[in-house]
Amino acid sequence: MKITTIKQQAKRSDRYSIFVDGKYAFSLSESALLESKLSSRQDLTEGQLREFKQVSADDKLNQQTLRYAALRPRSKWEVEFYLSRKQASPSLAESILNKLSKIGLVDDRKFAEAFVHDRRLLRPASRRKLINELRKKHLDDETIQEAVGNDSRDEQAVLREVITRKRRQSKYHDIDKLMQYLARQGFNYGDIKAVLGEEGGLD
């Protein structure tokens, strides 16, 4: 068997199609192609062809995981779960995670800090709720406490913002329903009473 053509793909300029005996056989990213040292008119055994097809499959998963991790911040567990769903072998999963860690796309500390910052900014939540959400991402307690502890926003200031937003909805004009909602969001009962009391909400 002989490699007859190595052709850059039209839709994916970062990938190259390899043709063996005039027929498409597999594709590789530019970096994987350079590592493989394949060239046109190179002879391949059946065993080598099988090996390169596996390299191609692993390379595709590596690229897919890179895009998945780059789309938005991900915890290490989220990437591990993604690789598990893609049925990556343990050794391949470890290799991909190591690569992503080296370029900073998998970093639980940075992920936790970004998560807390974005949550406080876009959908204000109590510290207790943030902790519970980060635990669902399988972060360790030390990383969670560090991220939440670095958040400088006052809990009652966050609570005031949540109350302001919720009171735009007619059902939360009912003070009991509003208090129940705030308690479910993890806010301290004492803080709830204090903030609602400031604006005469408990009169």
98-114 pLDDT, tens digit each: 999 999 999 999 999 99
Over residues 32-52, mean pLDDT: 90
User: Which of 66-70, 84-88, 193-197 is least confident?
Assistant: 193-197
Instruction: Kindly state the DSSP code that residue 192 receives in the 8-state scheme.
Output: H
Final residue in a domain of this structure, among 102, 131, 152: 102
**CA–CA gap between residue 35 and residue 100 (Å, rounded):** 19
pLDDT for 175-202, tens place per residue? 888 888 888 888 888 888 888 887 655 5
The neighbour count for residue 109, using CB atoms within 10 Å, is 13
Secondary structure of residue 7 in the 3-state scheme: strand
Instruction: Specify the range with the lowest mean pLDDT, choosing from 1-10, 134-143, 192-201.
Output: 192-201
Q: Name the domain boundary from 69, 102, 135.
A: 102
Please indicate, yes or no, whether residues 30 and 79 belong to a single structural domain of this protein. yes
Instruction: Tell me: do 97 and 113 sit in the same domain.
Output: no
Last residue of a domain, one of 72, 102, 132: 102
My answer on whether 14 and 95 are in the same domain is: yes
CB neighbours of residue 66 within 10 Å: 16
- Domain encompassing residue 165: 108-198
Residue 152 has pLDDT above 80, yes or no: no
Query: Which of residues 80 and 152 earns the better pLDDT score?
Result: 80
Instruction: Quote the pTM value.
Output: 0.73
pLDDT class of 55 with cuts at 50, 70, 90: very high
Nearest to 151 by CA among 181, 131, 137, 133: 131
CATH number reported for the structural domain that contains residue 93 in this entry: 1.10.10.10
Confidence of residue 126 (pLDDT cuts 50, 70, 90): confident
What pLDDT shows up at residue 61?
Answer: 95
Average pLDDT of the chain to the nearest whole number: 89
Mean pLDDT throughout 113-136? 87
Q: How far is CA 19 from CA 11, 24, 46, 99, 189, in A?
A: 17, 4, 14, 29, 68
| Region 116-129 average pLDDT | 84
Q: Are 93 and 84 in contact (CB under 8 A)?
A: yes
**Is residue 148 in some structural domain?**
yes
- 26/97 same-domain check: yes
What is the radius of gyration, based on Cα positions, of the chain?
26
H helix and E strand count, the chain: 10, 3
Spatial distance between the Cα atoms of 47 and 68, rounded to a whole number of angstroms: 32
Q: Which pLDDT band, with edges at 50, 70 and 90, does 161 fall under?
A: confident
